[in-house]
Amino acid sequence: MTQKEIAKLLNVSQPTVSMALNGSERISRELRDAVRKLADRSGYRPNLAGQLLRQGRSNVVGAVFPSLTNNFFAELFQELQNQLIPHGYLLYLVQLGADGELPAAAECLRRMQAAGVIAIGSAAESLLRLKEDGIALVLYGGDSRLELGVSQVLPDRYAAGREAVRHLLAAGRRRIAFLGMKNPQEPRCRAYLDVLAEAGLEPLTLRAGEDGDSPEAGCRLMRELLFSRPDTDAAFMHNDELAVGALRAALQLGRKVPEELAVFGFDSIGTGRYLSPALTSVEQPRREIAAALKEQHGVDIDSKKLVLDEPIKSFGSYQVKAKLGFEISGTVYVIVTEEK
């Protein structure tokens, strides 16, 4: 069924049906509900090709990722597909590699008239020229807000790191190491150092090596730790890729996890749930990336569309349901903290 046919059945104009399906406040709630119910019953689907042709752009969204061999990035890419495909967008993957690869990819996205680009980490700086062509650019990650004039999704890794270390302290751990350090000012490491200093405990950090963030690197780091400091009773890992290898090494060396040694990861990749014992980890809110891109394209999350089972009255992390558009709902991850 087309919009024109829906309009005829409801005795309204086709533009009215279009605005109702897009959630326009100019249309009464009763009529919006009637249009959506009829569209749902009839199996209506918007003509995305026609919409994009009129707007003079493609339905391609570039996804610039470091690597999909990292489970977190692979799951993040899958989440983006889940979020964007219902809106009629297709993801075009660009994996970072040689120095000359990114500029070539940027030119390719420009010629494709991409609707937007999601870039991980510092890659956004090399893609800024896309803004001149009207291509929306969203940056995910990084350790601080960049003054680049683009949307940026910054997970609060410092707060999450503090919560993780406090959890270990509350469990009675006192000889806690941080494995996979790249920079002592990186939020997770800084949180670890700050919490241990507040508790009057000595920190122990092992830097990441040339083997990067891999299970093999985690295995090597855990072996180094237990051979040099066998009294360690907890290890906070830079990410889950390292934690998977660290957990394996600890078990191979005869340590009981978590009774004798706690292994705490970061990212909460799906694989961690199937390990034995299951990996304890900090979860990163993957869906916020897609939400930021939607905001660039005018899909606003109006406060009226947020559904709260109970009012938020205290600090902490919350999941709030949101109605994003016709037949599209999502979850907004909210962290309430004290203003500093």
Q: Hey, what are 165's tokens? A: 């270390």
The pLDDT score that the predictor gives to residue 324 is 42
The pLDDT score that the predictor gives to residue 302 is 42
Question: What dihedral angle (degrees, nearest 10) is formed by the CA atoms of 214, 244, 196, 73?
Answer: 60
The CATH architecture to which 3-45 belongs is Orthogonal Bundle (1.10)
Domain extent listing, the chain: 3-45, 53-155, 157-283, 300-340
Compute φ and ψ for 40, nearest 5 degrees. -65, -45
* Euclidean distance between CA atoms 93 and 211, whole angstroms: 24
The pLDDT score that the predictor gives to residue 176 is 97
* Euclidean distance between CA atoms 78 and 67, whole angstroms: 13
The domain made up of 53-155 has a fold known as Rossmann fold (3.40.50)
Q: Do domains 3-45 and 157-283 have the same CATH topology?
A: no
The pLDDT score that the predictor gives to residue 298 is 46
CA angle 7, 9, 12 (to 5 degrees): 40
- Whether the full predicted model's pTM is greater than 0.85, yes or no, is no
The pLDDT score that the predictor gives to residue 92 is 85
The CATH architecture to which 157-283 belongs is 3-Layer(aba) Sandwich (3.40)
The pLDDT score that the predictor gives to residue 265 is 94
| 10-residue averages of pLDDT along the chain (340 residues) | 85 87 84 89 66 59 81 83 79 69 73 80 67 76 62 81 96 96 89 97 88 89 96 95 95 96 91 89 70 51 47 57 45 52
pLDDT, one tens digit per residue, over 258-311 is: 999 999 999 888 888 889 899 999 887 666 655 655 565 444 434 444 455 555
Q: Which residue has the tokens 């919009």?
A: 3
Can you tell me whether residue 323 is helix, strand or coil? strand
Beta bridge partners of 116: 61, 136
